[in-house]
Every structure is written in structure tokens, then in C-alpha cells.
Structure 1
């Protein structure tokens, strides 16, 4: 049994905090007056201090756990007579007051340290309850923590989050207001005019969330804008919440409009509601449900006056729950391999209906589907993959495009982490190994869907560590390219018509593979896999599709630096292609190509000779040293260092500005990698051709180079 901590009296707690904060404001004013250089201000502050001392003697001790200076009356009572009778009215009163403050501050600091320790334990217990989904217990723990320490900002904002989860939005708003007030007090007492408190902004964000939940959108927007004023550095975070606010507001407006159509007796609106109700009737034959789904699909398609409202009604009236609310449909979607012809037809009709219901529905429809039906979405995706594996490409064509767009949502991807390796990956691998049987209009979307899922770091790690997936991807790529070249040989007109189709497959495949190779894994570092990947992809550098070219360069830039054997495979062909990409207008393409080229020239004489022949006095590479991108500078300087092992090149560079260009980066560059690469290149240059030493000496560079090399060694 879970024991919940006792709830506090919220009214009395807030009254105490109000009283305490007022006392602190008064004392802060007194201290500033005493520190003033104005004699009149000092005298008024001393009088106020005497009045405050008298009031404190008549009031009970305030146990509020804030580490600020409040008068300890006991210390005042224990003073000897000489201390209580100042020689001059103003001077001793000020000194005594400051002594009291210092003594009481030490006592209060010790008490607060213990209170914070106890409150932190309660906060951690509340956080654990929150993560487990027990939000009421979390509220109780946070409340008990606030009884210990009322200026603990995290407790206020954490309890506000728990209240939001419980749907208690007014309580959440109250907690956010108190968090803001406590944060303002901390801000003032520390006198840090230019320092923003992160938790202060956090309180505004949660206040905005509560207002959005209450559908008070204008107030929520004002709250978010206030957060931006407080800390402009949080612009990205706050703008994300503002974007969500606009989406929720649009959804609310759409649903209100749809409800209005039903209430007004609109025929199309009533038709959608009635059809969904009929399809949900139990114990009907399969043909009944298949027919109902087809009729509803046609009805949505034929809605001419307000198609968007019809789609909204479909969503709000339980249309997307058909997959779970109708037992026959639920059973068939779970086991598509053993279905009758009529059952397959029913499932295909369902997928076609879902696509029509979400067609051109924008972000608002996607937002609501992912928010209200995450398990349904997961189930639908798994059902889709199963249908594709039994060869039902019609089912896939009706749904995969919509699912691909929905798979972009990060929160949804997190829900897939536990089942991804057991459900999605095996089905996707089966599709890849049978890509020639899958429609080329469906396959790119399917690959893009999984590629979008690779954005999630956990899912990407599962994919990149799976040897079966790499094998399936390479097999699919080989199949796609074989079909493309066969089409090219058959006829020019066929080639032109099919080029785009197969390019879509290759574009999706290279996009997936560049994501999977982003972080090294045991599979991608295996020699066999690396060599096969480079062998099959390097030819795509000649593709007229610039997206495929960029992604292929990305794959090579990820694999070549980690595999010497893969460099040997492409050392005679890839360098010239990569060098040409150094002049590409797209910066990302240039960065990929430069990194891959640096890997090729590391140990390959053939690759170095190719680049030297193409680049007169390596002017292209030297120009990249002047680029603003530090990654590009690092890889270009690394490649230059490799090329300078060629004695003839070093001799031809005599009389150019190569020494000054490299020395400038050695002496001044803030990036240690660029600095080190340029130092190594410069040292190699002077070793291969001693004439460059004279130029280095003229520039006072010998000492700089010596110190730099010594530092790196």
C-alpha cells in the first residue's frame, strides 16, 4: 500500500508566505537605506529599524525557510546593558541592528540547509511518483515539501505540472503564480539585474500550458510572450509552446464549427455521424462492415461544401476508433496472413478510409490523432507492415503516405522504443528483401517512414546495430539500381519515365542509410558491410538527383574514415567525384565530400595523385581553409596535410602563400583540431622542401610552430 503524505492548509500557507515576503521587503529597504551615502536616508532607515525591532518583539518567530536576514529577538534580549544603550542615538542602533542580522543569518542558514535537505527528499519522491503516473501522490509529496521550504521554486512548478496532469488547471495556475513570485523575490534579493532565473521562465511556460488547457488562448499567448521578454535565450523552447498553442486553438475552432454543423442539421455532417454509428454495430457479417467503410469513404470524398469539417467530425465521433471498437476489424488487423478474401477487402477499405479521413488535413488533424490515439496509430502501422508482407500493396498505397507524415512526431517515436525491434524492424527487413515485389509508388514512402523514425536516437541505435537490416537495405538498393539500368537499356523513353520512380526509391534508401551511419556501430564498422556499402553507393555520386548525391557523399563520409578496406575499394574512382563536389553550391554536400576525400587521401597514393592532378597548387583546398565553417576547415587542412607528403607538390608550392595561410591558423585559430592539422601540414611542407623554412623564418613562425607541435605532442 502506498502511503500518501498529509495535505497542507493551502490558505494558511499562502498567508504565511505573503506575510514573510512583506517582512523581507521591509528589511531589504532598511538595509539599502543604511548603506546609502545620504545622512537623511540613513537616519530614516535607523528609525524604521527601531520600529521593526519593536514589532518583531510582539510577534511569534517566523519559521519560513528562506535564507534571508530576519531579526532574532532572542539575540536582542541577551545583549548586555552597555550594548543596548548607544553613546549616540544613530550610530550604535545601526551597529546593533547589523550585529543582530549577522547572528540570525547564521542560525537561519543552518536551519534552511536542513529544511532544504528534507524538502529535496520529498521532491525526489514526488518526481518518482510523477514518472510512474501517480500524479495525486506526486502532488501530496510536493505539498509536504513546500511545508518544509516555501521558497523551493522547483516544488511549485513540479506541483503545477502534476496538477495539469490531473486536470486541475486552476490549482496549477495558482502554483505557477507563486513560483513566479518566489523567483522575483530571489531575483531582487540577489540584486542581479542582468541574470534571469531559468525556473522563473519555466513557471511562465507551465502557466501558459494550464491556460491552453482551459482554452484561454489569448491569456496563454500573453504568458508565453512575457516569458520571452524575461529570457530571450529561451526563444526556441517558448516558440515551440506557442506553435502548439496555435495548433490546439485551430483544433478547437474546427471542432466547434463541426459541432455547429451537426446542431444546425447539416445533412453532410449528420451523414458522417450516422455512418460511423452504423458501422460500430456488433455481430454483423464481414461484408456489412466492408460495405459501410466503402460508403463512408465515398461520403468523405464527395463532401464538397465543407470537407474539412466532415473530417473533423469523423475524428471527434470515433472514426479512428473503428480499428479497436469493431471486434471483427480488430481481429483481422492483428492476423492479416490468415484472412479470407472478404476480410482482406474489409481491411483494405479501412486503410483507404483512414487515408481519406486524413487527406489534406494539415497539422491539426495529425496533432489530434497522435495526441488521442497513439496506441491506435502504433497498431495501424504494424498492421500496414503485415499487409505489405503478404503482398497487399493496395493496402499500403492507401495508408503509408499518411503514416509517413505522422511518424515525424518525436513523442510518438518514444512509444515505439520497447516494441520496435520485435515488430517494425523484422517486417521492414522482409519488405526490403522483397522490394521487387512491392509497388515502386509505395516503397519510397515506406522507406521514408522508417528513415523518419531513425531520427529518434534509441530507434536509430537499434537499427544501426542490426546486421539483418543492413543486408536488406543493400539488397534493396542493388535491386533498385539493376531495374533502373535495365530500363535504361530497353529504351530511352522508358528510361526517362522510370528514372524518377527509381530515383525516389534510391533517394529514400540513401536518406535512411545516411541516418544509420551517423553514429558508428559494430555492424557498419564490419569490413564486409563497409566494403559492400561503399561499392554499391559510390556510383550514385554521378546521379543527376542532387539529393541522392548529397546523401551518398554523407554515407561515404561516415564510413570511409572508419574502414581502410572500403577506401581501397573506391580509391581509383571516388576521389575525382568527391573533388568535383567541393565546388557544389550546397555547403552540406561540400562538407560531406571534404570529409570523405580526407579519408581517401590518408593512406592512398592513388587518391592523392588524383586530387593533385585535378587541383592546381591545391588552390581549391586552400580556399576552403578560409571558409567560415570550422568542420570544413578541419577536414580541408587534414587533406592538405596528406597531400603535402608529395615532394613534387611541395616544390611547386614554393613562392605561393601556403606558408602564411597555414601559419595563420596555427597561431590564431580557436579550434584546436584546425590548429593541429595546419601545424602538421606546415611541418610536413618544410620537411619535404627546405626552401619553405626561409619563408617561415621571415614570418617569425619557427617558434610558433615549435611551441604548437610541442604542445600537441
Structure 2
């Protein structure tokens, strides 16, 4: 076979020389004709040519042998399976199929996000509606002076919506009405520190609580902050502070005037025992000094607090009279001495004599009545 190809190449070169072609062109043309001869040989199944023989050799470099299928022993045949790994455009739709699920997943994710947002918005609207109902019931109870009931409704509203400054302010005002000033301060401070620093009602209610606690510096600081954060409401702030001062003084005068007569005309009235109060507290009825008045107010508040925190039981006695017992461990204040063994009766005062004993009225009596009612249930 190789001899035949060489003969063909030699003949071609001789023919080219006769055509007066230069050597380079002749070599290129001869190479081209040789390539055609190789292709023709492959197509005519004449076996591999020289350049292809090495490519089709086995692993040991030896040329393959033709198989005579008539003499083939099937028991000694070893088959080798070759895999066609050509993937060029074999299945042009496979890539599209791979990317399609990704597009669907992204769309599904966006749909889920939208559904979650809608669900959250719906839940929020429902909570706000329920909170508004509870707040409305609390407002109604407040107007009827049922402050404990109002607090319960406001607490339920806060559970539904935890970031409502209005609800916290309403509850703080209820605590102020119940003389629970420290608890009112917590609600006001929560609004100012966590919800709305400029909230006017929170600053004023905080000032109110500090005023009743006789913490003058913090009261003035709260008023100054209210003015600083609400410069357009200065007239309203001044009006509120004046009204607050009038209420505090009026409450003190009422307490001072009725302290000795809280049982008069009411056999069901309650008391926490007689309070033996400092002589100066009773004798200085015409005191006009602001400092002295504040001291008296502070003393009255201490008495009220002592009554609230130290009651341990209430026993009904004959003739619809109640006896309230005070814990003996904490029966002394700076200016107040309790008499835990006093018999509850309507205080009497003879003409011309000064009665140095009495009890706290107003808020203290309301708290004591509530305590007895709860124990009798």
C-alpha cells in the first residue's frame, strides 16, 4: 500500500515539474493530492494509511487485526464498550430545562413573601382593632371613675399593640388617679424612652407624678423637657401646671379638713385605726408657706402609703363597724405613729378641745373599702 502511494506522489511531482510550477507550489499540490488519495483509500476500505495507523493502535502500540467472524470463538471474545461523550448541541433543550425551575422558584419565593406580608398586615389590623375596642372600654371606665377596671382594659390593649403611646399614657393617668405615682412614672418613662421622646402627655403626667412625690427637681426638669420638645404648646403646658398646683393644694386642704370626720354619717365607713400625728401638723392650720405645705402634703402621702401597704386583714365587728389591723413591724414613720389596737369608731371632739387624732380620707379610704370588699368575697 505504501509503495502505491509513493508511486502516485512521484508521478504527481513529475507532472508538476512539467507544468513549470516552482518547488514550493509543487510540494503543496502534491501534499493535497496525497491527502485526497488517503481519503479515497479510507472510503474504499483499503485499510488505514500511514498517518492513521498510530491513532488506531491498541494500548500497547500494536496495530489492530482484522477479525474473521467465521472462525470466531465466542467463548474467548472480550468486548470493550466505548462511550460517546460528545455533548455539543446533543440535546439543545436540556439547558433550558435546567434554568426554568430556577425562574419558577424565584417567582414562588416572591409570591410567598407577598403572602407573608399580607398576612402580617392583616394580623396587625386585627390586633389594632381589638386594642381599640379595649381602649374604648377603658376610657368608658375612666369616665365613670372606675380606674382599676380601666387599667385592666388598657393592659389588654397593650398586649394587642405594644407600641401605643396613647394606651400607656391612659394607664399612667389611671395610676395617678389612684395615687400610685411610681407605677405611673414607669409608663411615662416607657413612652419617652422607647416610643416617642417628644410626647407631651407623657412629660406632663411624669411631672404630675413627681409633683405628688414631692421630687421638685425632677418635676421642674419634666416641665422644662415638655416645653423644649413642644414649643408650640407652651400655653397649654402653663395651664396644665397651674391646674396641677391648684389640685395638689386643694387635695391637701380637703385632707386636712376631713381627716377627723371621715366616719361621720356613714356607719359603713372604714378606717385604718387612729393616727396620732405630729402636733404641728394639726396646729398650723393657717400655714401659707409653700415649703410647709409641701411638708404636710408629703406627710399625708406617707400616711396614705402606709395604710395601703401594711393592711393585713379586715374583721367585721358588731354594729357594722370594721377593724383594720396594721402590721406591727412597720407602724412608725418619721412623723406618724400608728395605734394598731385602736377601736374603730366615729371620732368625737368636744367643744373647745383640739383633737390630735384622726385618719386619712379620700384615696386611702377608697383603697381600704376595696380591700375589705375583696376579702369578703
Using CA pairs under 8 Å that are at least 6 residues apart, name the structure with larger relative contact order, 1 or 2: 2
Tell me which interval the TM-score lies in, with the shorter structure as reference length. 0.3 to 0.5
Structure with greater strand share of residues: 2
TM-score, normalised to structure 1, is 0.21
Larger Rg: 2
